[in-house]
Amino acid sequence: MTRALLRTLFGPLLWAVHFSLLYLLHTAFCVMGVRMGDPAAAMLLSSLLLTLGAVALLAWLFVLRWRSGALQSANGFLNEASLLLIVLSAAGVVWAGAAAGFIEGCASLR
């Protein structure tokens, strides 16, 4: 049961890790950027790579779960919930990555 629950919650967990890493990198680049100059390009590139990597991992996981025929197993509800949570998590990852790309970074440190 624990394994099925972890498989169901993998999408939201990856979303949380992506969100945390995104803002951790943003803060690190802002702190280092005060000494180095303008960190905007590094922040944009890192947020783009992190977002694309997370979306690719979620898409791969979705395809694996879909092809495994998991919807016909005994835990049908958990498997359907897992697929829906993966889609929701992908939307959250894209939303957070887009915000990091469009909002000007380090404005509060200037």
Model confidence pLDDT, tens digit, residues 45-61:
888 999 999 999 999 99
- Find tokens 């945390």 and name the residue: 20
33: its two tokens: 């950027």
> Is 8 inside any structural domain?
no
> Is 95 inside any structural domain?
yes
> Is 1 inside any structural domain?
no
> Is 79 inside any structural domain?
yes
- Find tokens 């990856």 and name the residue: 14
Q: Which domain holds residue 18?
A: 13-102
- Cα 75 from Cα 78, distance rounded (Å): 5
pLDDT at site 81: 84
> Is 93 inside any structural domain?
yes
> Is 108 inside any structural domain?
no
Using N-to-C axis directions, what is the helix angle for 40-67 and 10-36, rounded to 10°?
Answer: 170
- Closest by CA to 99, choosing from 43, 59, 30, is 43
Total domains, the chain: 1
pLDDT at site 72: 61
Determine the residue type at 29: F
Judge if pTM exceeds 0.85: no
Residue ranges in the chain whose pLDDT is less than 70: 34-39, 69-75, 105, 107-110
Q: Write the CB contacts of 63 (distance below 8 Å, at least 6 apart in sequence).
A: none
